[in-house]
Amino acid sequence: MGVVFDNFDLFGRGLRTTASLAVLSYLVAFVLGTFVAGLRVSPIPPLRWVGTVWTEALRNIPLTVLFFVFFFGFTKIGISYFPFTSSVIVLGCYTSAFVAETVRSGINSVAAGQAEAARALGLTFPQVLGTIVLPQALRTVVAPLGSLFIALTKNTSIAYTVAVVELARVFNDLANQTGEAIPLFAGVAAAYLILTLSSSAAIGVIERKVAIRR
């Protein structure tokens, strides 16, 4: 394990980058995904189509391909950011499709009477959705939304392909330099497990506080 402790700084840096990629992308994904879920249940056909195309396209194209399209393709139309920012955008958009599907199934699980009652009181669609349905819907899907965060944490490793120095990149570089892949693998795996296990503990706490079971 010597090689892991010798490079503890680099590991720490990788861990911080992975964690900040995960948190920032999740914020993007959550806001965007909830919005797209709203589009998908809205009574306005063109908005519904946009929501459907967004989720279907992003769910069916591999994340690695999205990274390549954004990073190597979009520069051609004048869209280029630093690797970290690009990664947050790509990871956020990709995960937003899954957040949207999760939130939508949460919305479908809210009893129809809730929306009916809100409509009977004269609330408009955005009001029904924003004040009555979504708050209940989000609380039913706390656990799957949490699993999405964990999946996202692992997916940040694909930022490796665009040279963001996160854990997978640290592993790759050190393993190539030192040739001691096995202890390094153990170290990286441990780092990811620390991240995922602590987030699932945190998700458990949030779940106990806010989740409603149906």
Partner 1 sequence: MSGTITAFADPLGPRGKVRVAIATAVGGALVAWVLYVAYRRFEANGQLEKELWTDLFSGEALRFFWGGLKITLQLAAVGLLLAVAVGVVLAFARLSKRAPVRFVATTWLQFFRGVPLVVLILFFYIGLDFKPFRAVVAGLVLYNSAVLAEIFRAGILSLDRGQSEAALAVGMTDGQAMRLVVFPQAVRRMIPALVSQLVVLLKDTSLGVAIGLEELLRRSFLAGQFLKNPLQALIFGAAIYMVVNLLLSASARWIERRQGQGKAKKTAPGDPVRVGGIEDLSVA
Should residue 33 be labelled a site residue for partner 1 when binding is judged by CB under 8 A? no
* Nearest to partner 1 of 24, 141 (CB atom): 141
Cβ–Cβ under 8 Å, residues 125 and 142: no
- Angle formed at CA 125 by CA 121 and CA 129, multiple of 5 degrees: 95
Supply the minimum distance, in Å, between the C-beta of residue 198 and partner 1. Answer: 12
Instruction: Using CB under 8 A, pick the residue from 21, 24, 107, 164 that binds partner 1.
Output: 107
What is d(CA 5, CA 3) in angstroms, rounded to the nearest whole number?
Answer: 6
Should residue 66 be labelled a site residue for partner 1 when binding is judged by CB under 8 A? yes
* Nearest to partner 1 of 1, 61 (CB atom): 61
Considering only residues 68 to 87 of the shown chain, the ones binding partner 1 according to CB under 8 A are 68-69, 72-74, 76-78
DSSP labels, 125-165: HHHIIIIIIHHHHHHHTHHHHHHHHHHHHHHGGGGGGGT--
* Nearest to partner 1 of 24, 162 (CB atom): 162
Tokens of 166: 């996160």
Cβ–Cβ under 8 Å, residues 120 and 126: no
Looking up tokens 């665009």, which residue turns up? 162
Tokens of 210: 């806010």
Scanning 7-15, 20-28, 82-90, 125-133 for contacts with partner 1 by CB under 8 A, the matching segment is: 125-133
Considering only residues 6 to 25 of the shown chain, the ones binding partner 1 according to CB under 8 A are none
Instruction: Using CB under 8 A, pick the residue from 3, 13, 83, 147 that binds partner 1.
Output: 147
Instruction: Using CB under 8 A, pick the residue from 4, 19, 88, 158 that binds partner 1.
Output: 158
